[in-house]
A and B are shown apart, each in its own frame.
Chain A
Amino acid sequence: MKYADEFRDPDAAKGVLGAIERIVDEIGATPEKPIHIMEVCGGHTHAIFRYGLDKLTPAALEFIHGPGCPVCVLPMSRVDDCIELAERPEVIFTTFGDAMRVPGTKKSLLQAKAEGADIRMVYSPLDALELARRNPDREVVFFALGFETTTPSTALCAQQALAENLTNFSLFCNHITVPEPIKALLDDPYMELDGFVGPGHVSMVIGIEPYRFIARDYNKPIVVAGFEPLDLLQSILMVLEQIRDGRAEVENQYSRIVPDDGNVVSIEACADVYERRETFEWRGLGEIDKSGLKMREKYWAFDAERKFSMGYGRPRAKYEEPEGCKCGAVMTGRLKPQQCPQFGKGCTPDRPLGALMVSSEGACAAYYQYGGVRTQLEPAE
């Protein structure tokens, strides 16, 4: 017997898939009236498409792809701000490579770089810190981007910059948090969500307590999941079991990596450096209360927003999303990627129109890349 090599343990995968099918039946879901499970994390979205889990699971189970891809939810106005910063002659603008192709209202960082701005892709904010040490006559700005997984890295760098009294290093803070958009989606009367697959690595940092409100206040199950295909299938099964049994709990399928209390050093560093903004804009979702972070007063010397008067929410021209772009509807699960009129036409991974096409964690790019793939889990011989 030969199985697709995607599954290390195909028998186990078949067993879990069989159980998923049974429970979906027991719940009474049908393709017309499916169960909706949202995977919050973009890494999970990517894995679901890569392994064809959406096709291996019953049609009566529908995945809603969540807002957990940080570059996909970056507002165009913030990309514009980055470019404005990067085009200052004294600035070396440093960023993770993922952000380079995100379209702003006029151009992307990649285009700004081609036009001469000193923009450098770095692997780590540690490298931005090192650049600042080596270039005392330049201003090094790091584009602090991402969810709770990357927030500790920039917080620890800000602490280090303070300890060294660096005067030419700052962070352009755009960190966002996972629980708040989940709350916003649960409050949206148009959303139909029956349960969640929770992010693995975000939870490794924050623990599982911050998701408690989902079970307690909204009566929905959430299971924190790993990234292997079997992890994801098991987590989906755990969500379904909760739905069938009428339970709503926070469960941790990924406990080998995710301690229930998270990572204490990270939590403390983040609390020292950052505080919550009243509100922050998410591309496709609009303003979400308390969903973004800004630097505390103690670290204002390292806050690019203050240093260069680029405060969040400063008055600016209103902008429109590109013609025909359905990012918002796809992001909230109202449309599937292929239902966007631009999908594969005006918008491709090489020439992204919307941000969901930029990163492999974006639903549109993942669907574009793997849309036709069907993972084989049948005996081949």
Chain B
Amino acid sequence: MCLGIPGQIISISDSTKKLGIIDVSGVQREVNLACIMPKDGNIDTLIGEWALIHVGFAMSRIDEAEAAKTMEVLVMLGEAQEEIEAMRRSQSALGERA
């Protein structure tokens, strides 16, 4: 919850709500990109970029090398697995009563 996880922005899903799809180690989900919007307001330029994601919000843009290093630490701390599991589980929480 506090450490976040790096992900790559692969597409924009709703440009008015500033939402996009990120990929975290093969798991994809929608996140909010409002906090890392480029100065010129063109959300499409975020596609392909990496960001640190905290509870579904991209909070900071990072480069690919930093993303890889951060992921490594998170895996060692056991946090990456937990975070990815929470992402997966959350999709099912949206459905019927869990």
**Residues of the B chain whose Cβ atoms lie less than 8 Å from the Cβ of A50:** 76-77
Contact (Cβ within 8 A) B56 A124: yes
Give which listed residue, A201, A265, A360, contacts B77 with CB less than 8 A.
Answer: A360
Contact of B55 among A153, A263, A265 (CB under 8 A): A153
Cβ of A272 < 8 Å from any Cβ of B? no
Q: Name, among A130, A227, A266, the residue most crowded by chain B CB atoms within 10 Å (CB to CB).
A: A227
Q: Number of A interface residues, CB 8 Å? A: 49
A42 to B77, CA, bound (A): 12
Q: A78-114, CB under 8 A of B: which get 1 and which 0?
A: 0000000000000000101110000000000000000
Q: A361 to B2, Cβ gap below 8 A?
A: yes
Given contacts A127-B93, A146-B2, A266-B35, contact A152 B56 (CB under 8 A): no
Q: How many A-B residue pairs have CB under 8 A?
A: 126
Query: Quick check: A127 and B90 within 8 Å, CB to CB?
Result: yes
**CB within 8 Å of A: which of B1-45?**
1-4, 17, 29-32, 34-35, 37
Specify which of B2, B30, B56, B78 is in contact with A125 (CB 8 Å cutoff): B56
Contact of B94 among A8, A118, A127, A266 (CB under 8 A): A127
The 8 Å CB contact of B59, one of A96, A126, A266, is A266
CA distance A265 to B35 in the complex (A): 5
Question: Which residues of A lie under 8 Å from residue B98 when comparing CB positions?
Answer: 120-121
How far, in whole Å, are A123 and B2 apart by their CA atoms in the complex? 12
| A156–B57 CB distance below 8 A | yes
Q: Write the nearest CB–CB distance from B25 to chain A, whole angstroms.
A: 14
B89 interface neighbour in A8, A43, A121, A269, Cβ under 8 Å: A121
A8 CA to B73 CA, complexed, in Å: 10
Of listed B1, B3, B60, B94, residue having the most chain A CB within 10 A: B1
Asked if A70 lies at the interface with its beta carbon under 8 angstroms from chain B, I say yes
Do the beta carbons of B54 and A149 come within 8 Å of each other? yes
Check if B57 sits within 8 Å of A153, measured CB to CB. Answer: yes
Q: Give Cα A134 to B95, complex, Å.
A: 9
Taking CB atoms, residues of chain B closer than 8 Å to A42 are 2
Counting chain B CB atoms within 10 Å of each CB, which of A42, A123, A156, A361 scores highest? Answer: A123
Q: Are A227 and B2 in contact (CB under 8 A)?
A: no
Q: Is A38 interfacial (CB 8 A cutoff)?
A: no
Complex CA distance for A153 and B62, rounded to whole angstroms: 19
For residue B47, CB closer than 8 A to chain A, the reply is: no
With the chains together, A15 CA to B87 CA distance in Å? 39
- Nearest opposing residue in chain B for A5, CB measure: B76
Q: In whole angstroms, what is the CA distance A320 to B1 when docked? A: 28
Q: Is the C-beta of A330 less than 8 angstroms from some C-beta in chain B?
A: no
Interchain CA distance A118-B96 in the complex, whole Å: 11
Find chain B residues with CB under 8 A from A152 CB.
35, 57, 59
Chain B: CB-nearest residue to A47: B77
Question: Can you list 7 A-B pairs, Cβ within 8 angstroms, ordered by A?
Answer: A124-B56, A124-B57, A125-B56, A150-B2, A152-B57, A201-B59, A263-B35
| B-to-A contact residues, CB < 8 Å | 1-4, 17, 29-32, 34-35, 37, 52, 54-57, 59-60, 62, 66, 69-70, 72-73, 76-79, 82-83, 86-87, 89-90, 93-94, 97-98
- 14 extra interface residue pairs, beta carbon distance < 8 Å, beyond A124-B90, A227-B70: A68-B2, A120-B93, A122-B93, A123-B90, A124-B56, A131-B94, A150-B1, A153-B56, A156-B57, A227-B73, A257-B52, A257-B66, A263-B59, A360-B79
